[in-house]
Structure 1
Amino acid sequence: MPLIPEEPQIHESAQGPRATPASGRSAPTPRPVPGPRPAAPPRPGRPGPVRPMPPAQRAPRDTAVAKPEPSAPAAPAAASTPQIQLIPASVEGALDAAEEAVDLLLDSGRAPGEVLVITTGEPHPWAAHELSFGDAAYWAQHDAGDDVFYTDASLAARAASRPVVVVAVNGGPDTVAATTLPLAHGRAGTLLIVCGDPQKINSVLGAGV
């Protein structure tokens, strides 16, 4: 059986629209954008007039330089002396007057440890009682400085200084009073109170202090 040739089939491909140039017009050419302008060079300023400098002053050769003179040494301050207060009392009443003076001192605000009492005759009862326990215990209370300390003329040289010293001239030889009062004056820091015969006390203080 003879074969009949088939007619070839033509498949058309899809074609998009074609761009048609505008009639008689060409696309505008873009202009270049100008860049930043270079900064203008600074203008030279006008220099002001030059002011003349004042001439340096030179010290004349003939002028002598004054040298400071050494100052005189300061005078040393006078040593402070305690105030002396005299309480007239008899030999028998000197110890009572001393105890009253101590009470007034404590009432006025003095601390007990600031007061030292010295007797020229019989020792104070407190001192006699404390000495019965031995010298070590007696002087330990003195070193503690917590209370009024009572001593007699024979031991007064061992006592340390205190702001107030009270002396009861309650007997003993005149030589004891003459030795004790200058010693008490040296132990007193601010106040020395002496209870006894004013005539005897003034004669001793005037000669020995």
Structure 2
Amino acid sequence: MIIINVLEADRGEYMMIIYFVRHGESEGNKKAMIQGQSEYPLTQTGENQAKQVAQALHDVGASTIYTSDLARAKNTAKPIAALQGKKAVESTLLREVFLGPLENRTREDILTSYPHINQIVTSGVEGTETIEALTERCHTQLKKWKKYHASETIIAVSHGGFISIFLMYLFAKENWHTLHRPFRIGNTGITRVRIEGDNVYFDYVNNTSHLAN
């Protein structure tokens, strides 16, 4: 059962809270490149954004900070973890979607070469990560979190494409790819999700108010 709720609700005894955070602006973002799992460092703007999101999350009481092992995510997670006196735990499950031949190219270049593509992260182009593999990643990560953090708050620093897919997975499990994916996550956008048993509550998606200044 999925419940969309923009209000702050009471926390149940066995409720897990997840703050999903997209990484700060990277050099790939600045150049309008489709990055996938290719490595790009944060820009100076991205480093500043990481510090701002760290301040925004400093009092959420997270027991654990998880991060994708790609550099742009790890370097976003560092100030978040440091401000809370913790060390971020790396997880390959939180990596961006692997896009193989589509990586390191602009969206316009990709669509010129593959005019049939509707969604780049789920294009089905040979050599890209399959829907089945993405589903398994979501399933495995959620299962681990439920096992170890059933009544805790955690922070997960990841990537725009994968976060949007994970949110769809929470909606529809293995059928997530059959639905329109409306989520667009900006650099250091925060999404708060609460999970209690089979109930999923979305408090907000892509909150970037910490970047107002």
State if a TM-score over 0.5 links the two structures. no
Q: Which has the higher contact order (CA 8 A, sep 6+)?
A: 2
Q: TM-score range by the shorter chain?
A: under 0.3
Higher helix share: 2
Higher strand share: 2
Larger C-alpha radius of gyration, 1 or 2? 1
